[in-house]
Amino acid sequence: MIIIVCGDIGRFPVGGEAWLNLQYLAGLQALGHDVYYLEECGEEAWVYNWDTFESTTDITHQASYVRECLKLIKFPQKWIYRMGDKSVGMNLEDFQEVCFRADLMIIRGLPIALWRPEYERPRRRIYIDEEPGFTQLGLVKGNGQLLETASRCEHLFTVGQRVGRPDCSIPTANRNWLKTVHPVCLLNWSIDGTDRGTHFTTILQWKAYQETHVHNNANYGGLHYGQKDEEFVKFQDLPRLTKQAFRMALIGGSLEAMADFGWEAISGWDATRTPSAYRAFIRSSRAEFSVQKHGYVVSQGGWFSDRSVCYLASGKPVLIQDTGLKDWLPTGEGILTFLNPSEALDGIKAINENYDRQCRRARALAEEYFSTDRVLPPLIEAAMS
């Protein structure tokens, strides 16, 4: 099949966001599909330039980051970065011809900023919601780009495994949400050469959305859907309660404040700037410790992070705040959950007491539940139905 993946590598130039896209591209290639990458910025996109420490709309700078990321998975020259009437990458006319022949366009994470006539040409279009709760609230509240993208797609998918259940507070926005999970291409996440690590680590973005963000103003049905800062304060004292060492790659927030609570805090922008740096940070860890966004916890939508998937693939156990996982994922070994600091301390003890077994189980769960060869074929089958 000819498949176009529409993503956001250049607009969000950090390693974790790049991997969200690379997993799909590498996985679909490994399955034998003819894969193309599209980044549609709309009329303009401001992106941070790490070299000048300023924001820029220079398309060549943004596209160069895309190019370097795609080299990591040996992706061919079958990509295009578009902004207004400018483009970088493959020849525009050639890409437009691909759109006419394409079987499927996968729009992941963000809606299409500018719908061009050629985007109507693939046989099928699907949208993958990677922010369950926030995306649906955006539709309910009338966000224009989300509404247009949803209306132009034959199917909508979500990584929120419990969306639509009576005890999940996420509205469906009068749409049918098919289920998928974050995939990981295990070819790029070998466990060879990884060490046991000394620190439980977390990559934490203090506030993911600004006031002008499409998903902000997240209040619905008497509930507030907050961000990670609202949950993390409940667990910030954890390093003081155990001998286990913790390292935090923090984006936003105060490194000094976290250090006062006992965290070894480093700049998340610096530690995870490229896909290689992001992968190295995870591989150097002993395990992941992760507090979730308040909205994921209060909604109990079954959210499981793409970052946690990468830890599992690296043979690293994950200790994560529960979002309603236990009715679709086995927990207790490889994946451990907590609701409060006491349960988090129990999880730390359980991981350290039988560490090698926990690591083996982590990798096995990645292979069984999240490997691209398990996740992508049923996604494509449902997309084309």
Range of lowest pLDDT (36-50, 63-77, 81-95): 36-50
E strands, 159-269, are 177-179, 199-205, 219-220, 223-224, 245-251, 264-267
Rounded percentage of the chain residues whose pLDDT exceeds 70 = 97
CATH 3.40.50.2000 placement within the chain:
187-369
What does the pLDDT read at residue 383? 98
DSSP 315-380: T--EEEE-SS-TTTS--SSSEEEESSHHHHHHHHHHHHHTHHHHHHHHHHHIIIIIBHHHHHHHHH
**323-342 tens-digit pLDDT:** 999 989 999 999 999 999 99
10 Å CB burial of residue 148 (0-12, 13-18, 19+) is middle
Burial of residue 182 (CB within 10 Å: 0-12, 13-18, 19+) is buried
pLDDT beyond 60 at 210: no
Residue the block writes with tokens 């996440």: 189
Angle at 111 between CA 106 and CA 115, to 5 degrees: 85
Residue 212 has pLDDT above 60, yes or no: no
Tell me which residue of 300, 322, 304 sits closest to 313, measured CA to CA: 304
- What are the residue ranges of helices labelled H in the chain? 15-30, 59-72, 92-101, 134-140, 144-151, 228-232, 255-260, 268-271, 275-283, 294-299, 306-313, 341-353, 355-365, 372-384
**What pLDDT, on a 0 to 100 scale, did the predictor assign at position 214?**
42
Rounded Cα distance, 165 and 167, in Å: 6
The fold of the 2-184+372-384 domain, in CATH, is Rossmann fold (3.40.50)
Cα(337)–Cα(333) distance, integer angstroms:
10
Least confident of 98-112, 188-202, 213-227, 358-372: 213-227
Each residue's pLDDT tens digit, 287-335? 999 999 999 999 999 999 999 999 999 999 999 999 999 989 999 999 9
Q: What is the mean pLDDT of residues 241-265?
A: 93
Of 64-73, 77-86, 153-162, 207-216, least confident by mean pLDDT is 207-216
3-class secondary structure, 15: helix
DSSP letter at 292? Answer: P
The one-letter amino acid at 283:
R
Nearest to 41 by CA among 112, 106, 94: 112
Query: Which residues are CB-contacts of 228 (< 8 A; sequence separation ≥ 6)?
Result: 204, 205, 206, 207, 208, 291, 292, 293, 294
In whole angstroms, give the CA distance from residue 237 to residue 186.
35
Q: Can you read off the two tokens belonging to residue 206?
A: 């203090």
Which CATH topology does 187-369 take? Rossmann fold (3.40.50)
pLDDT at position 219 is 81
pLDDT of residue 193: 63
For 240-247, what is the mean pLDDT?
97
State yes or no: pLDDT of 273 exceeds 50: yes
DSSP one-letter code for 172: -
Average pLDDT over residues 10-29: 96
What pLDDT sits at residue 251?
87
Mean pLDDT calculated for residue range 86-111: 97
What is the per-residue pLDDT for 211?
39
User: Which pLDDT score, from 0 to 100, does residue 196 have?
Assistant: 85
Distance CA 371, CA 126 (A): 20
Choose among 128, 277, 296: nearest CA to 228. Answer: 296
pLDDT band at 213 (very low <50, low <70, confident <90, very high): very low
Which of 75, 331, 25 lies closest to 183, judged by CA? 25
Name the average pLDDT for the chain: 93
Rounded-to-integer distance, Cα 190 and Cα 36, Å: 25
- Is-contact 341 234, C-beta < 8 A? yes
Provide the pLDDT for residue 268.
Answer: 86
The secondary structure of residue 10, as a DSSP letter, is T
Confidence of residue 208 (pLDDT cuts 50, 70, 90): low
Nearest to 25 by CA among 15, 13, 34: 34
Residue type for position 121: R
pLDDT at 215 over 80: no
Distances (CA, A) of 238 to 234, 262, 284, 344: 9, 8, 21, 8
